[in-house]
């Protein structure tokens, strides 16, 4: 067993070269075994085993720095930096994170989670190194999917001016979560598939290198504008920008990669190594179904089938169904995703209406402005996006959609606590960042039927609107409460006295339980389904003030800028003297872990809320 000999950083260097492949196999077996129990990002990690080993063999960590784009592929890096024994707790509360975390190891130099940030962060580390007189190597590892994000190009553009060494590794597995899309993907694919032709290029290149004055010819070729240089130098796109291109390299050949990384360290200026890998490598179900094994729940290793198959529909399924209906009803309805056709549930819409479906790559900012353009052109765009990823399109929402009051619908999935992906992925800020924008409307359904109704309402509204719903099983309670959706109108579910619970979206279900607990203690409790966070139903707030001692707002969003503040503001403006309790997420980032556990920890589960309400009385 070679894996057992790896207890700390750089232990890999004690493994003999002839045993590298055996170690890679052990790491793969370990990853499959562990992730089958904990769940996690399997495919990307299986594809990056050799690449990570080569980096650890060629570099000197922690002196040298590796920034992992998205960071979901950093498991082997964690194993090689003394964290193997912690893997039983992967993505669990207080356990190790599924992403790089500076607080976890000095070898994690930059926290990631959202894509396309690694080149910018790496460039910052390079500049910091140069200004402080350091001479370590900085490497940004970015996938071809993440290279569809605009920030990566902003960073490449900026990096091209560098005169000192900076290594960018393009881990190209020809996949994002689903098939990768767009012009760059096509370009990379052409390089990938032209391997015979590339051998010829390499041959010419090497022959020139070995010739007297060959270097000179290569440099002149690089500067030449002729198409002849295309024949000799691969990776022209990067070369033309001023970034030295090395590759393509077989990303499962450790020896070659170690030597190419060594070459790259000697380049003055930015250098990109194009590494070809296979997503899911070494585990047949993951090779065959890369999208499903991108991020997986626990599964049976033998069959690849989830250990706990889903029996109930989740909110994404409900959204998926209503999208197909909306598409059928109205030809102007179009759908946009930023590289998440599976995760957002848009795949069925894509299959039914391929001409009205757009996967724009991991490009949320572009997705939003593109949608604004579609709306300005008379269509009815629906942008389906996860709450945390929409954060980066703030200005596009404000500047391109809302100032012009364009009818773009945002279907904001994974809103609220998401669990094991942790602080970068919790969808707990959308009420805050959306509600300050004039012309924006925000609503959240209490159950699966209301999500359908709200989507239909949203498309008919003719103005910017976000419908936000959580990850996981769609609530199937309160079916009989299905009053038509009216703009800015809340729904009274139970009318009693003493305590009024005003709950938003997912918290209506929690509030139902809170109400039961309080009634067991002899309290009289009303329940209002807020439905809208912008505009809030001020009449409902005033009515609640009239008949109750205590108003309790409940939301799965941070307090700052959330629903509770709006209710409180309304109370203040009307001079209400009722007691008030705001139940929300505290002003902090929420780590990874089981959602129920996190809720209890944050004091927003039914038992904690009931206790807090009694204390407030
Ligand atoms: C801003 C943002 N949008 C969406 C995602 C969700 N996401 C995580 S990984 C991924 C695909 C990344 O593809 P690639 O960089 O090629 O890495 P691979 O998984 O193929 O190794 C996506 C879309 C994200 N992390 N960040």
pLDDT digit string (tens) for 445-463?
Answer: 999 999 999 999 999 999 9
271, 288, 305: which is the final residue of a domain? 288
Would you say residue 486 lies in a domain?
no
pLDDT at 49 over 90: yes
Q: Is residue 176 within 6 Å of ligand 1 at its C-beta? A: yes
Q: For residue 202, what pLDDT band results from cuts at 50, 70 and 90?
A: low
Query: What is the C-alpha separation between 409 and 442, in angstroms, rounded?
Result: 10
The reply to whether 413 and 499 lie within a common domain is no
| Contact between 126 and 166 (Cβ < 8 Å) | yes
What are the residue ranges of helices labelled H in 342-493?
347-352, 364-376, 387-390, 394-395, 430-435, 448-461
Q: Which residues are known to be catalytic?
A: 279, 364, 392
First to last CA, the chain: 62
Is the CB–ligand 1 distance for residue 478 below 6 Å?
no
**Ligand 1 atom nearest 70 alpha carbon:** 25
Residue 275 is classified by DSSP as E
pLDDT at 309: 86
| Arithmetic mean of pLDDT, 302-315 | 93
**If you average pLDDT over residues 385-412, what whole number do you get?**
98
Residues 293-308, mean pLDDT to the nearest whole number:
95
Q: Does residue 350 share a domain with residue 424? A: yes
Q: Are 453 and 481 in contact (CB under 8 A)?
A: no
94: pLDDT strictly greater than 70? yes
Instruction: Give the pLDDT confidence score for residue 220 in this predicted structure.
Output: 65
Q: List the strands of the sheet with 525-529, edge to edge.
A: 491-494, 525-529, 498-503, 548-558, 579-585
Share of the chain above pLDDT 90, in %: 90
Tell me how far the alpha carbon of residue 390 lies from the centroid of ligand 1, in angstroms: 14
- The model's pLDDT over 111-125, given as tens digits with 9 standing for 90+, comes to 999 999 999 999 999
Whether 34 and 162 map to the same domain: the answer is: yes
Given this model, what pLDDT does residue 461 score? 98
Ligand 1 atom closest to the Cα of residue 115 is 26
Under a CB-based contact definition with an 8 Å cutoff, are residues 413 and 316 in contact?
A: yes
* Sign of the torsion formed by the C-alpha atoms of 358, 360, 361 and 366: negative
Confidence of residue 192 (pLDDT cuts 50, 70, 90): confident
What number does the ligand 1 atom closest to the CA of 116 have? Answer: 1
| 141 and 94 inside one domain | yes
d(CA 212, CA 451): 71
User: 3-state DSSP call for residue 375?
Assistant: helix
What's residue 602's pLDDT? 98
Of residues 389 and 219, which shows the higher confidence score? 389
* Between 555 and 214, residue with greater pLDDT: 555
| Window from 55-64, 173-182, 318-327 with minimum mean pLDDT | 173-182
> What's the mean per-residue pLDDT of the chain?
95
Please say whether the beta carbons of 552 and 507 come within 8 A.
Answer: no
CA-149 nearest atom, ligand 1: 1
Is the domain of 137 the same as that of 280?
A: yes
CA 488 – ligand 1 centroid, Å: 36
481: in domain: no
Please count the helices (runs of H) and the strands (runs of E) in the chain.
25, 17
Residue 212 has pLDDT above 70, yes or no: no
47-51, 214-218, 240-244: segment of lowest average pLDDT? 214-218
Q: What is the 3-state secondary structure (H, E, C) of 27-66?
A: HHHHHHHHHHHHCECHHHHHHCHHHHHHHHHHCCCCCCEE
Same domain, 231 and 327: no
Residues in the chain: 617
Q: Are residues 53 and 150 in the same domain?
A: yes
Output the CA 450–ligand 1 centroid distance in Å: 30
Atom 22 of ligand 1 has which residue's CA nearest to it? 177
Q: Residues 236, 156: one domain?
A: yes
Whether 298 maps to a domain, the answer reads no
- pLDDT of 466 over the 60 cut: yes
- Helix, strand, coil shares of the chain, percent, nearest 5, are 45, 15, 40
- Least confident interval from 170-184, 200-214, 235-249, 423-437: 200-214
| pTM reported for the whole predicted model | 0.94
Helical pair 606-616 and 507-520, crossing angle rounded to 10 deg = 60
Q: Whose CA is nearest to atom 21 of ligand 1?
A: 44
Give the SS3 label for residue 82.
helix
Is the same domain home to 37 and 167?
yes
Closest CA to 483 of 440, 540, 437: 540
- 462 and 419 in one domain? yes
175 lines ligand 1 (CB under 6 A): yes
Name the domain count of the chain: 3
Q: How many percent of the chain have pLDDT more than 70?
A: 94
Q: Band the pLDDT of 219: cuts 50, 70, 90.
A: low
With contact defined as beta carbons under 8 Å apart, do 552 and 500 qualify?
A: yes
Q: Is the pLDDT score of 355 beyond 80?
A: yes
Q: What is the pLDDT of residues 227-279, one digit of tens each?
A: 555 555 678 899 999 999 999 999 999 999 999 999 999 999 999 999 999 99
Range 515-534 average pLDDT = 98
Mean pLDDT of 507-529: 98
Question: What sign does the dihedral 136-137-140-141 (CA atoms) show?
Answer: negative
Q: What's the average model confidence in pLDDT over 215-233?
A: 59
Strand order in the sheet with 65-68: 65-68, 138-143, 166-172, 270-276, 244-250
CA proximity to 353, closest of 378, 376, 325, 383:
325
Of the candidates 453, 468, 483, which is a domain's last residue? 468
Inter-residue contact 84 to 6 (CB < 8 Å): yes
**What is the dihedral sign for C-alpha 489, 493, 496, 500?**
negative
362 CB within 6 A, ligand 1: yes
Answer whether 114 contacts ligand 1 (Cβ < 6 A).
yes
Which ligand 1 atom minimizes the distance to the CA of 176? Answer: 13
Query: What pLDDT shows up at residue 235?
Result: 86
CA 145 – ligand 1 centroid, Å: 6
**pLDDT value at 558 more than 60:** yes
Give which of 454, 478, 457, 480 is closest to 468, Cα–Cα.
454
Residue 226: Cβ within 10 Å count: 8
CATH number of the domain that 432 lies in?
A: 3.40.50.970
Q: Are residues 239 and 118 in the same domain?
A: yes
Q: What is the rounded distance in angstroms from the CA atom of residue 450 to the CA atom of residue 442?
A: 14
Domain that holds residue 121: 3-288
Q: In angstroms, what is the span from residue 177 Cα to ligand 1's centroid?
A: 6
Could you tell me the distance, in angstroms and rounded to a whole number, from the CA of residue 490 to the centre of ligand 1?
37
Distance CA 302, CA 228 (A): 52
CB 585 within 8 Å of CB 550: no
CATH number at residue 498: 3.40.50.920
The verdict on the CB of residue 145 being under 6 Å from ligand 1 is yes
Q: Is residue 97 part of a domain?
A: yes
Q: Which of 40, 42, 115 to mutate to test the pocket of ligand 1 (most atoms within 8 A of CB)?
A: 115
The dihedrals phi and psi of 502, each to the nearest 5 degrees, come to -110, 105
Residue 302, in any domain of the structure: no
Residue 138: beta bridge partners? 65
Checking if the pLDDT of 398 tops 70, the result is yes
Question: Which of 427, 168, 222, 211 shows the shortest CA–CA distance to 315?
Answer: 427
Residues 325 and 281 in one domain: no
| Position 111 in a domain | yes
DSSP code per residue over 115-144 = SS-HHHHHHHHHHHHHHTT----EEEEEET
> Looking at the domain assignment, is residue 168 inside a domain?
yes
Average pLDDT over residues 288-299: 95
Q: Considering the domain boundaries, does residue 47 fall inside one?
A: yes
pLDDT band at 137 (very low <50, low <70, confident <90, very high): very high
Binding site membership of 279 for ligand 1 (Cβ less than 6 Å)? yes
What's the mean pLDDT in 183-206?
Answer: 72
């Amino acid at each position: 067993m070679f894996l057992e000999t790896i207890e700390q950083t750089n232990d890999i260097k004690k493994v003999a070269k002839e045993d590298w492949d055996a170690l890679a196999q052990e790491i793969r077996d370990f990853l499959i075994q562990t992730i089958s129990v904990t769940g996690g990002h399997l495919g990307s990690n299986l594809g990056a085993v050799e690449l990570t080993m080569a980096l650890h063999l060629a570099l000197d960590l922690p002196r040298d720095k590796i920034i992992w784009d998205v960071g979901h592929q950093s498991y082997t890096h964690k194993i090689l930096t003394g964290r193997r024994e912690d893997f039983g707790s992967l993505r669990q509360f207080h356990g190790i994170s599924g992403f790089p975390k500076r607080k976890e190891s000095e070898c994690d130099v930059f926290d990631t989670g959202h894509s396309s940030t690694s080149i910018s962060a790496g460039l910052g580390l390079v500049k910091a190194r140069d200004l402080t007189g350091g001479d370590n190597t900085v490497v940004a590892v970015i996938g071809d999917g993440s290279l569809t994000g605009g920030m990566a190009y902003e960073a490449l553009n900026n990096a091209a001016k560098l005169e000192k060494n900076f290594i960018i590794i393009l881990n190209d597995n020809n996949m994002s979560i689903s098939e990768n899309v767009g012009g760059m993907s096509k370009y990379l694919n052409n390089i990938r598939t032209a391997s015979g032709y590339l051998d010829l290029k390499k041959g010419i290149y090497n022959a020139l290198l070995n010739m007297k004055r060959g270097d000179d010819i290569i440099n002149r070729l690089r500067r030449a504008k002729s198409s002849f240089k295309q024949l000799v130098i691969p990776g022209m796109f990067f070369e033309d920008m001023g970034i030295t291109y090395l590759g393509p390299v077989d990303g499962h050949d450790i020896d070659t990669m170690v030597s190419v990384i060594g070459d790259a360290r000697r380049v003055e200026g930015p250098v990109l190594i194009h590494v070809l890998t296979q997503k899911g490598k070494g585990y047949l179900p993951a090779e065959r179904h890369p999208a499903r094994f991108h991020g997986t729940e626990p599964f049976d290793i033998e069959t690849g089938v989830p250990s706990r198959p889903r029996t109930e529909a989740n909110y994404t399924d409900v959204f998926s169904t209503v999208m197909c209906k909306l598409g059928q009803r109205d030809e102007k309805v179009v759908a946009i995703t930023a590289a998440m056709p599976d995760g957002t549930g848009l795949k069925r819409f894509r299959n039914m209406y391929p001409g009205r479906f757009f996967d724009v790559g991991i490009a949320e900012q572009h997705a939003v402005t593109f949608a604004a353009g579609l709306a300005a052109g008379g269509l009815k765009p629906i942008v389906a996006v996860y709450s945390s990823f929409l954060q980066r399109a703030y200005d596009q929402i404000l500047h391109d959609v809302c100032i012009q009051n364009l009818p773009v619908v945002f279907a904001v999935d994974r809103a609220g606590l998401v669990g094991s992906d942790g602080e970068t992925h919790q969808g707990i800020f959308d009420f805050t960042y959306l509600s300050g924008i004039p012309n924006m409307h925000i609503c959240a359904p209490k159950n699966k039927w209301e999500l359908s109704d709200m989507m239909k309402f949203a498309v008919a509204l003719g103005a910017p609107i976000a419908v936000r719903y959580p990850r996981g099983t769609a609530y199937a309670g309160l079916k009989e409460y299905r009053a038509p959706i009216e703009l800015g109108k809340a729904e009274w579910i139970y009318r009693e006295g003493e305590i009024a619970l005003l709950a938003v979206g997912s918290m209506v279900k929690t509030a139902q339980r809170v109400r039961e607990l309080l009634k067991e203690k002899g309290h009289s409790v009303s329940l209002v389904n807020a439905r809208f966070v912008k505009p809030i139903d001020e009449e409902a707030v005033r009515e609640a003030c009239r008949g109750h001692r205590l108003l309790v707002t409940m939301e799965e969003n941070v307090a700052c800028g959330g629903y509770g503040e709006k209710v409180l503001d309304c109370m203040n403006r009307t001079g209400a003297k009722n007691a008030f309790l705001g139940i929300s997420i505290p002003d902090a980032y929420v780590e990874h872990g089981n959602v129920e556990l996190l809720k209890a920890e944050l004091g927003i589960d039914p038992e904690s809320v009931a206790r807090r309400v009694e204390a407030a009385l």
